[in-house]
A and B are shown apart, each in its own frame.
Chain A
Amino acid sequence: MSAPPGLPSPDELLKKAEEYLKELEKGPWPSHVAEMRKTGYPLHVYGVGLVARKSPWGPSVVKTKRLTGVLARIARDWVPGGGEEVHFRVFNTPGKFYPTDYLRKLIKISRELGIGLIEAVGQTGAIVINVKGKDVADKMIDALREIGTDVGGSGDAIRELNACVGPALCEFALYDTLHWFVEFRKDKRIHDAITVPGLPYKFKIKFSGCPMDCARANRADLGFIGVWKGAPEVDQELLRKKIENKEVDVHELVAGCPAKAITWDETKKELIIDGSRCKKSMNCIRKAFPAIKPGKERRVAVVVGGGSKGRYGPKLGWFIGYLKPDEVKKAIDLTFKVIEPWDKEAPAKNRLGDYILMEGLYKFIEKAGIDLEDTPRIIEKLPDNVPYRVLPEEERKKYADFAEKIKQVVKV
């Protein structure tokens, strides 16, 4: 980007930048500037960017042994003093749990080979560590490998996977998200797609344990969300106890259901939930757990094509079918089934969602050969829509039987 018009002289610019930075250190919310003062980050570049109202960074390259996950920037020519910035996207631990001994190792690396600055979580779900300079980049990768993590997940590749905390710390998890997350990472094909960028655009895979969708799987290119089929399970005994103890307000429970599927039987003191109307909004479960629990028939809903960056803008995913909670291997196969037609046909810089918008969901499902439980399909032409045609004998018989049955019920 060229220098903005009317930029003051370098000395004045730096002075003004310092003023802006000081202003950002004030206030009750934790300040990023105060944090970065403790590190080797070139703050004057950031300050100049604020004054100029333009990003002070330009593209740069750094040569390392990794093809993805390494990003470098250099200050624009109008930034007095100049500066450079190299950062790594480092894989997070499952569930993003950091034992302190592991965290201390990471801090040590960041101090020795980096500038002491860490972004705890990037939007991909990776932890971002700033590197001291281009010459120590390879050393940093070796050091990170030694403590059992690595660098990767940028560019047109599969990005860092992301899972919600799941059964590790949450009672609502409907399948083992962390197990799925780890199984995906272990798979050779996924591993290769993370290390070598070869797809039309980025591809994100996320795992959410329940419909509350903490990992934001509905917004990923391929999301797995835990759901159940039918109505939630109600433990009437426990619920009655909860109502007596005033822990649960049953009328609020009934009124709060967005699908209006709950009715309260005052005489029997029983809660009835209509499973066919249940929208899985988790409203009653959140309020009365464990008296009301998700149903026994657990499934993992697969959604494809969400994302915020892409040709046609931000979109939510499309549902393409259910998997069972133990079918993680099938899910990995499904990933490549989904990727295949997109990789082959989509133009560069088109997300999976853009491709599905162009092709149509049904055509995409057909092309990818997706065949899951409850996969949406095109129904060629409904026979009921065609009034004129010769019906085969057995079909006529079916309708005759149907009429006979109705006749007995209605009794003319």
Chain B
Amino acid sequence: MSIQLSYPVEVEKYLPEIIKKNYGKWVERKFHGPGIIEHVSETGDRVFTIKVALPPNARVSADTLEKFADLADKYGVGALRITMAGNVEFITTSLENALKIKEELEKLGFPVGGWGGALWGINTCTAFLTCQIAVVDAVSIGKAIGDALKPYFTGEIPLPAKLRIFISGCPSGCAGGIATDIAIVGMWGAPPRIREEVLPMCMPPPKALAKIPESQIFLVQVCPTGALTLRREGDKIKLTLIGEKCINCGRCKDNCDAFDYDPKDVGVAILVGGRMSNTGTGPRLARNLVPWIPANPPRYEEIVAIVKHVVEIWRQNAKPGERLGDFIERIGWPKFLEMVGVPKLAAEYMWMPDAARTYLLYRARGEVIFKGFRDAV
């Protein structure tokens, strides 16, 4: 049994006329200030795209989208493009119209910018808007960071190269993983607590449990470190969690609702220096800069301060065209940590070889580290 879906499958149908005409014929691009790019075709046609930031998590109301559609009809070619980073691009054919669109958008309260040496956008996962496994609200962190870093997006303060920020509510990394310049990931901070009253929904019935080998239990399979095991207590078999083995990956919570946490343990990890593109030293995952700091809604002062601090260090010291990862590669991790002001962390990196690049292999309760860090910032 399968249902026939009706997909959008014709490329031609959705392309604006001018793009259809110049499909695959583009030869050049020019920058016209922050947020406006001119594409030149070999046929001589010129197209201007204007990039505008959406609210975190790309959440827009129908009213706003309608206003966008009106703008695209009035000044543009009657089409919008949504980018992978959660921005919207307007397409038009003259620079005057492009500037008009920019002006109108800024009147509506949407910043225009984000190309070349600038902040390209902030991606966040859905977190508390819909998700049931997120431990911090990535969306409001995105808003707080956006407020603080807006001058970098609109080009008021130019950056050496592209900067992109992903904010995920839990280690699943739904906001685009950790292969980015600055990744902020919600951390459990402490091993989860099992809610006994909900657990039976995810386990085989008690009678069957005695017969099934441990390795066949779904929740035991799911745990990557073997922290979830079966223990015999009298004549009862129970699922137990060995706290020392837990790395807070959140996979158990992902697959069963019976795992809970105490909000006071929860924080975020900040990872820096990743990249997806093959420019510079090539694609890589970000490395752990701060393993744990608290996330205090609604303004998240601690996180914003650290992110701004890291961006400023990079802006003031990097060569033109050098992304954050390349900059750290050039000066070396110990030097970078010294610049950020976390000498204690530098010592930790001594025994943390490659493991340090993924947060999944590393857990910290963080109070001590954070205190030193906040003083430094």
B81 touches A95 (CB 8 A): yes
A349 touches B255 (CB 8 A): yes
A-B contact count, CB below 8 Å? 349
B130 touches A87 (CB 8 A): yes
Interface set, chain A 304-356, CB cutoff 8 A to B: 307-309, 311-316, 347-349
Chain A hits for B72, CB < 8 A: 100
* C-alpha spacing A32/B298, complex, angstroms: 13
Given A29-B150, A100-B79, A149-B7, A123 and B174 contact (CB-CB distance below 8 Å): yes
Distance between A189 CB and nearest chain B CB, rounded to angstroms: 10
**Residue A38 interfacial (CB < 8 Å):** yes
Closest to A196 in B: B2
Interface set, chain B 91-131, CB cutoff 8 A to A: 109-111, 123, 125-131
* C-alpha spacing A85/B129, complex, angstroms: 9
A173 touches B24 (CB 8 A): yes
**Residue A136 interfacial (CB < 8 Å):** no
Closest to A192 in B: B2
Distance between B11 CB and nearest chain A CB, rounded to angstroms: 5
**Residue A277 interfacial (CB < 8 Å):** no
Distance between B311 CB and nearest chain A CB, rounded to angstroms: 15
Chain A hits for B110, CB < 8 A: 30
Chain A hits for B262, CB < 8 A: 4-5
* C-alpha spacing A94/B12, complex, angstroms: 9
B60 touches A120 (CB 8 A): yes
Chain B contributes a number of interface residues (CB within 8 A of A) equal to 120
Closest to A66 in B: B3
> Contact flags (1/0) for A161-194 with B, using CB distance below 8 Å?
0101101111101001011001001100001101
**Residue A362 interfacial (CB < 8 Å):** no
Chain A hits for B53, CB < 8 A: 29-30
Chain A hits for B139, CB < 8 A: 32
Interface set, chain A 28-67, CB cutoff 8 A to B: 28-36, 38-39, 46, 49-59, 65-66
Distance between B257 CB and nearest chain A CB, rounded to angstroms: 6
Closest to B140 in A: A24
**Residue A133 interfacial (CB < 8 Å):** no
Distance between A250 CB and nearest chain B CB, rounded to angstroms: 15
**Residue B191 interfacial (CB < 8 Å):** no
B14 touches A102 (CB 8 A): yes
Instruction: Report the interface size class on chain A.
Output: 35 or more
Q: Say which one of A103-111, A369-377, A378-386, A402-410 lies at the interface with B.
A: A103-111
Q: Say which one of B205-213, B218-226, B237-245, B345-353 lies at the interface with A.
A: B218-226
18 additional A-B pairs beyond A92-B8, A99-B16, beta carbons within 8 Å, are: A1-B257, A20-B297, A24-B298, A30-B53, A32-B56, A38-B61, A58-B132, A98-B14, A117-B61, A118-B62, A120-B60, A122-B126, A168-B15, A168-B19, A213-B283, A313-B171, A314-B285, A348-B218
**29 A–B pairs (Cβ distance < 8 Å), ordered by A:** A2-B260, A23-B298, A24-B298, A29-B150, A32-B57, A34-B55, A35-B64, A55-B133, A87-B130, A93-B14, A96-B82, A98-B14, A99-B78, A107-B62, A107-B65, A117-B62, A123-B123, A145-B6, A150-B7, A164-B84, A169-B81, A195-B5, A212-B278, A216-B276, A219-B179, A289-B27, A313-B171, A314-B177, A316-B179
Residues of B within 8 A of A (CB): 1-11, 13-16, 19, 23-24, 26-29, 39, 47, 49, 53-66, 68-69, 72-73, 78-84, 86, 88, 109-111, 123, 125-137, 139-140, 143-144, 146-147, 150, 169, 171-179, 195, 218, 221-222, 224, 249, 251, 254-255, 257, 260-263, 266, 276-285, 295, 297-299, 321, 358-361
